[in-house]
Structure 1
Amino acid sequence: MSLMGITRARRSDVTLPEVTAAPAAASAAARPPSLVAVCVPVLVMLGVGLWGLDRGGMWRDEAVTFQVARRSVPQIWHLLHHVDAVHGLYYLLMHAALAPHPSEIALRLPSVCGAAATAGFVAALGVRLGRPRVGLWAGLLYSVTPLGGYYAQEGRSYALVAAGAAGATLLLVETLRAPRPARWGAYAGAVAVTCLLHELAVVLLLAHAATLATARVPWRVWRGWACAAGAALLALLPLALVSHAQSAQVAWLAVPGAGSAEHLLREFTGPAEPVVVPYLVLIAVALRPSRERRPGTPSLAAVALPLMMLPPAALFAVSRVVPLYDERYVLYALAGAPLLAAAGADRLAGGAARRWKACGPRDAERSPGRLAAPLAPAVGVLAVALVLAWQLPLLREDRAPEGRPDNLAALPAVAARTLRPGEPVLFLPSIGRRSALAYPEAFRGVRDVALAVPAAESGTLYGVEAGPRELRRRLARLDHVWVVTERFALRPAWYPRDPAERVKLAVVDEEFVPREEIARRGATLRLFVRRPPTDSLGPELP
């Protein structure tokens, strides 16, 4: 079925050719612009995503994806019973993606494809709810927004979640135009898969409910949507029960404030000030009441505004009690912003065209609107190109290793040149082992002093370490040890709760002295040698 739809005519031997010819011709004429409006944003998003994809290192969250996805399926299943159940489906998908050739490009390529699909879905929504140029502008705006480009190059599930949410929204719009059980089933499946990729995407259903309420759909449509949403929630229930028991994983989240809301708004529109203000003006224009509205059919604003506003607002509200908000958890809500901005631009262009048309015959001939109307799509593309040029430095920064919170490749590069086979290594704390798990070649052959059961075998992210007594015994046999220290562990105020971590700190401080230090972004490699009996590094006095 084309994006613009096809009008069906009743059978009649006499009138059938005359009745169907015009709609069919209109549909055929509309098909090329609609196809271009969808394909161009997809190609642009692919270009933005592939640009600088191999930035030379993974950061800690990507490293978790990389090392977990390379485990066997039974080992991944074992892990999900203890930790990271919320990412279970994503890890299984990445297991298949990394199987042919595990690399950083293969790690991020699914996210690039997810972002490109999202841009296409956004464009298709603009075409379906507006016209081809609205879809073209909205898809291009999504493609050049730095937030979308950032997560297009992230080896995590968020770009795929955004694609699932945009696809489910498009399915909802199509289903509202022609409600059928098969379409409701497809919608339920899309929502379920999206939520299984990340369960907090379930807030998307609030946005869709608001769309139905605004469109004033009949009761039978509400019933179909409720059944589809209920089926998706039922599929999500087992994951919700398991992940609730693992809620300590998000204990690091803080209660969001007004600053978080302002930051998210800037991320949705583009952080640069010359982009934010025109973007907000266009959104305000799009939200002006329109007389062209049919009950039962959602307008673009009725779809885009709840999608942009309700998921962040819901997580903000919940986070006042239980902190659950992070901008990446609502990345899928970004799709609403370019749709509204494109609709506002279209409304301004339409108003200008109507004013030119209202001119007298002679004035109309001389009016620039006579040439400007066909050029409106090109003018909008040029405006998006200016937005891209203005935000190009931000996109370039995101493609450098410094554009992420840390770079786990820096320390292994040093370790590969420094550590010899058999060298004792102590990770302080144990999560420092993530660099060795992400880049095992750099630590191949070294002796992990504290490790008792490897990560994959233990069903944990970083392995199970020996107890305090055994750890003290192992350290007592060493004359030197290389210590991989996380940045926060170097602070004097850091006091670990784990007894084994406290033993590491105490033994290294009391029985060893530092001899060499190599600091890299996010971590430090230190050589400690055993303290001489004289408590001095110098020679003993006669």
Structure 2
Amino acid sequence: MSLDERAPTVARTVSPPVPARGPTPRPAKAVVVIAPLSLTIALGLWGIRRQNTMWGDESVTYQLAHRDLSQIWLTAQHIDLVHALYYAVMHEIFALFGGGLLTLRLPSVLAMSVAASGVGLLALRLAGPRAGLLAGLVFPLLPQVQKYAQEGRSYAMVCALVTWATCALVAGVPHRARWRWAVYGSTMLLACLFHEFAVLALVAHGVTLIVSRVPRPVLKAWSVAAAGVVAGLLPLAICSAGQSEQVSWIGGPVRLRYFLVVAVVGVACARTPLGARGPVRLSALAVPILVLPGLLLLTASLVKPLFVDRYVLYSNIGIALLLGAWMDYFHRRQQSSRNAWIAWTAAVAVLAALVPPSLALRTPQSRSNDATAIGAAVRKEGRPGDGLLYLSGQQRILTAANPGDTRFLTDLALAQDPVSSNTLAGIELPAQDIAARMLDFDRIVAVRAVGVHSPTDPQEEAKTSTLRRHFREYGTTHVNGARVTVYVRDHDPSAKDGPRSNSLGARGGVMR
């Protein structure tokens, strides 16, 4: 064989073809949906019973959802009209699955899981699969999301509805099909009917479209849908305006730390060039929904205090989108293994920092009160035949979830119970009758909420003045959110032991 004949063979042996390096694998769409949903369910089920306790707002849900639908509607004419739809839904859920503590909270876990999947899909559409997976996994790790995923209130459901309405908005911009805008409008209206302040997300959506400079037909379609939402919400808003006293508890220093932190972090993330897919940019969607609802509530609070962070829980959609897209951007820009090591170290540090608040959120002390512990303290301190007094009468809801705690005590101020009067706390006797009934008892167990402004109506003045003139404190039990005090008349033989005071842990009796 000649040299010329051997040359091609040698060339192939010495320089074999090098296979081309393929692109970094990206998560499939199914993973973007399933992984966030699974993580949210796992975190939601972790410690969901909170040592078998519930706090005051959950106690209201528990009580009202056990009433008939007609009773729920009649009660809503007096108070809590803004939550009437949620109570009706929970009534049906209780009817199907039983009215226990797990049934009270599981709907919120499932709703937040659906919201996490929606966040993942939003980021996938706007910034790609990896950003979608990261945003969907960040969302359930946020402290506020973990907290309200385990709470028997409407906020998780509102968050899920706003998330999927936002998905419908983003999908409707390029396609412009009427049915997509009908889905968007109906989903937003349902969210607003669950809680009126969901309408602030509608404002954020409008700003997103304006900033994105979408075509005029798109703005027109959104305007028609938004007008339908406002028209559908208007009757509820007008009727509930007459119940504005139910938010009279909002006052004092506004808790802004969480809102300010996530707003600053979100805006900082938005300064980087995040995903640019389609006519709506991710930052143009995420920043308004993160900042505007809370900012509008704060502005309204200059006239009347209204800012409570859970009212705009859905603003966490924005920070999850921005963090997920920013991490994807950092991953794509990393040039060395050192950068990757730094990124992983930072991620581990953040996860480690989330462990203490995650553990704390699953304790009874994580809420402003513990209705179960309050009821247990009343049961422990009261004797059969003692009088029972609530300071004020609205605090009756704190022991109503478990009637066994007060079964052997006489409610001294109650004229008509909550169920028959279609109210949350019942109707109380006139002031002079309350004072007269108090003087018929030698021992009175009084429940007083901590950190709650007490009204100055005649009934409350009669209670406090009668206790001050004719009774003396025998002992006080401190529980999370309340004090349970035993008062005795001077001629009561039990007073010879002298006053006493103790503290009952936040964990009370087991919910029945």
TM-score category, normalised to shorter length: 0.7 to 0.9
Q: Does 1:40 align with 2:35?
A: yes
Match of 1:310 in 2: 292
Match of 2:90 in 1: 94
Counterparts of 1:311-460 in structure 2, within 5 Å, are 311-352=293-334, 384=347, 386-460=349-423
Equivalent-residue separation in structure 2 for 1:448 and 1:80 (angstroms) = 24
CA contact (8 A) 2:114 2:160 kept: yes
Equivalent-residue separation in structure 2 for 1:63 and 1:154 (angstroms) = 11
Q: Does 1:210 align with 2:207?
A: yes
Match of 2:179 in 1: 182
- The letter for the 2-side match of 1:505 is T
Match of 2:430 in 1: 467
Deviation of residue 393 (structure 1)?
Answer: 0.6
Equivalent-residue separation in structure 2 for 1:513 and 1:253 (angstroms) = 32
Match of 2:231 in 1: 234
CA contact (8 A) 1:286 1:340 kept: no
Equivalent-residue separation in structure 2 for 1:533 and 1:144 (angstroms) = 55
Match of 1:159 in 2: 156
What does the per-residue CA deviation read over 1:307-343, in whole Å, with 9 as the maximum and x for residues that have no partner? 1122122222222223222111111011111211222
Deviation of residue 420 (structure 1)?
Answer: 4.6
Deviation of residue 525 (structure 1)?
Answer: 2.7
Equivalent-residue separation in structure 2 for 1:414 and 1:261 (angstroms) = 33
CA contact (8 A) 1:282 1:342 kept: no
Q: Does 1:529 align with 2:488?
A: yes
From 450, 469, 472, the equivalent of 1:487 is 450
What does the per-residue CA deviation read over 1:496-538, in whole Å, with 9 as the maximum and x for residues that have no partner? 411111111122222223334333232233333323399x969
User: Helix, strand or coil for the counterpart of 1:323?
Assistant: coil
From 272, 277, 285, the equivalent of 1:285 is 272
From 458, 462, 467, the equivalent of 1:503 is 462
Q: Percent identity?
A: 36
Match of 1:197 in 2: 194
CA shift in 2, pair 1:88/1:496, >3 Å: closer
What is the aligned residue count? 470
Equivalent-residue separation in structure 2 for 1:529 and 1:189 (angstroms) = 58
Q: Cα RMSD between the aligned structures?
A: 2.9
CA contact (8 A) 1:46 1:116 kept: yes
TM-score, normalising length from structure 2?
Answer: 0.84
Equivalent-residue separation in structure 1 for 2:397 and 2:431 (angstroms) = 21
CA contact (8 A) 1:284 1:344 kept: no
CA contact (8 A) 1:168 1:191 kept: yes
CA contact (8 A) 2:36 2:136 kept: yes
Equivalent-residue separation in structure 1 for 2:312 and 2:401 (angstroms) = 27
CA shift in 2, pair 1:293/1:481, >3 Å: closer
Deviation of residue 421 (structure 1)?
Answer: 4.4
Equivalent-residue separation in structure 2 for 1:145 and 1:338 (angstroms) = 8
Equivalent-residue separation in structure 2 for 1:240 and 1:317 (angstroms) = 19
Task: List gaps (5 residues or longer) in structure 1.
Answer: 1-28, 270-275, 357-366
Match of 2:8 in 1: none
User: Helix, strand or coil for the counterpart of 2:371?
Assistant: coil
User: Helix, strand or coil for the counterpart of 2:390?
Assistant: strand
What does the per-residue CA deviation read over 1:378-408, in whole Å, with 9 as the maximum and x for residues that have no partner? 9989865553222111110011111111111
Match of 2:113 in 1: 116
CA contact (8 A) 2:127 2:325 kept: yes
Deviation of residue 350 (structure 1)?
Answer: 2.8
